[in-house]
Structure 1
């Protein structure tokens, strides 16, 4: 005995015999897929593009000006470690939980009340599935968020960029504070040294009777010469020699009774020169330290951004899914194929039954 063979040539008549069933299945699939496609919400995608900067270049000690030019500029990213750090921060669970709480995604995803493990896991999974952070071929980061609410998708994408920036800044915030403390300590030390040296200078001026090195020395020499000339004339003419001698001694000797005298001036010249140089140097360093401290404090309080935003996320004007015509077409084609396979198998079964096989 031999069973009858089946050929694709007979596929047309088989489909024709079962055309009502096939047509009904295709129509039913079309109706159901149309209803399902219409009930599916539109999904929108918003993308923000940014370039991370090197956070070390935002340190206060690297933002000072030297010789009228900045020692370091805020460097754009491109480094692998900067890109990886930004992506890691954006994909971290604490950041996800922060945005979930901020935008009340438990209610948006209809997951239930926070605190339930199942609800927490569901919301976290939905959030991570809708989020995409990738490093593109141009050394920038594309942060994409999808949602049925196009405005919410754009808000979450932009907020996530801000959170990445904030966390990135925190990585160097403690070091920047320590640097600021060093500048404050340096300024306080120089301020104390300047005040001490200035008081020492004032004390030396009073002690030696020197209040202006160049002018005072010039007029003192002039007065001594004039007094000595008058003394010589008095000696020759019999004038007040004793008075002029006392006046000359007062101008030349420290014990002569004059506050301003040549002996004290000579003794104090070196000391006053050293004190003046010291005070001038400390004053210049104090001004520089004050400027450095103010720059560092401004840098810390200003919180320089650690990312350069190339493109903010905007509400999408076109949905990305569902593609309704593709859903309907795919459902119809798949139903037709499955129906044909079913009727072919059914025909083969009927033909190969023992009762259908007759002896030759």
Structure 2
């Protein structure tokens, strides 16, 4: 390596003392840069220019869906009051679904609220949905509860939107849980209808036979009536009486089955109730008193530190450039 470059490297070695000397020498320009940055960010972060955001939270637990099952309502057994991880996952899926987001866009007129002109956007729904996703979160906290968080320039809008999200999650979750119960109820309704028709047909047949052969009275009296008849009519009455006895026994069994089916139908019907909530709301969202962002002092402090670092780097580069330029000038004179 040439002696000139070795000399430049040794003479231009940098240390903390040299750094502090440079900063002190250029203190006025650095302070001016920092002052301008502080003044600019103070003005920009003013609430009239940079609108503040307010945050509202709603906290809830999903209830155990088995609490409204027929086994829990009509049989003995302990059931957990709150739902498990599967119930939480179902709630989170509902909360992040597009139907819910589209409902919020329509309900709160988010195109106007977010100042998005659909005629100027290539994908207006996508744009407003991304803006909504940036302003709302639904997640599970460390205690197993689901937390709905909404931020907005309007404190009341943030609270109303958070509560509406919880209400719509409850409605969708209730509908999802009741769909399977409704299908089972439909099956029981079909069985109930068939069993009622069966009992009615047997009742009509018994009535017809008794009316035709004059077989009125209890089953015990049928034998006596048959013995009083003679000839072909007696044999017909004998066959009719046997048929009536069989039908009476079948009717008793069908009525028992009908009663059991009716009981199961009523049990499942009682579990399908839209008035029963599927969420336990621990904390409803209320309008925030203080803004959540931007944090003005943090913005001002950050800008001051960044301007100081950038200003210091600039003066160091200037100093090194002056030194290298002077070194080249000395070499030129020496040659």
Q: Which band: TM-score by shorter chain?
A: 0.7 to 0.9
| Cα RMSD after superposing both structures | 4.1
Shift of 1:203: 4.8
Shift of 1:273: 6.0
Q: In the alignment, what sits opposite 2:234?
A: none
Alignment of 1:311-350 (within 5 A): 311-350=283-322
Shift of 1:282: 3.3
Aligned partners of 1:287, 1:65: CA distance in 2, in Å?
21
Shift of 1:213: 6.5
Shift of 1:322: 1.6
Question: Residue 210 of structure 1 contacts residue 268 of structure 1 at CA under 8 Å; is this kept in 2?
Answer: no
Aligned partners of 2:89, 2:83: CA distance in 1, in Å?
11
Aligned partners of 1:329, 1:146: CA distance in 2, in Å?
24
Question: Residue 72 of structure 2 contacts residue 79 of structure 2 at CA under 8 Å; is this kept in 1?
Answer: no
Shift of 1:18: 2.5
Change (3 A) 1:78 1:28: same
For 2:330, what is the secondary structure of its paired residue?
Answer: coil
1:110 partnered with 2:139: no
Q: Which runs of 5+ in 1 are unaligned?
A: 222-249, 256-264
1:146 partnered with 2:151: yes
> Which of structures 1 and 2 has the bigger CA Rg?
1
Question: Residue 169 of structure 1 contacts residue 303 of structure 1 at CA under 8 Å; is this kept in 2?
Answer: no
Shift of 1:267: 9.9
Alignment of 1:1-360 (within 5 A): 1=4, 2-3=7-8, 4-5=11-12, 6-38=14-46, 39-52=49-62, 57=66, 62-63=69-70, 68-69=74-75, 76-80=82-86, 82-113=87-118, 116-171=121-176, 175-203=180-208, 207=213, 209-212=215-218, 253-254=228-229, 275-300=247-272, 302=274, 305-354=277-326, 358=330
Change (3 A) 1:275 1:353: same
Change (3 A) 1:72 1:209: farther
Aligned partners of 2:178, 2:41: CA distance in 1, in Å?
55
Q: Which runs of 5+ in 2 are unaligned?
A: 231-236
Aligned partners of 2:292, 2:218: CA distance in 1, in Å?
84
Question: Residue 49 of structure 1 contacts residue 142 of structure 1 at CA under 8 Å; is this kept in 2?
Answer: yes
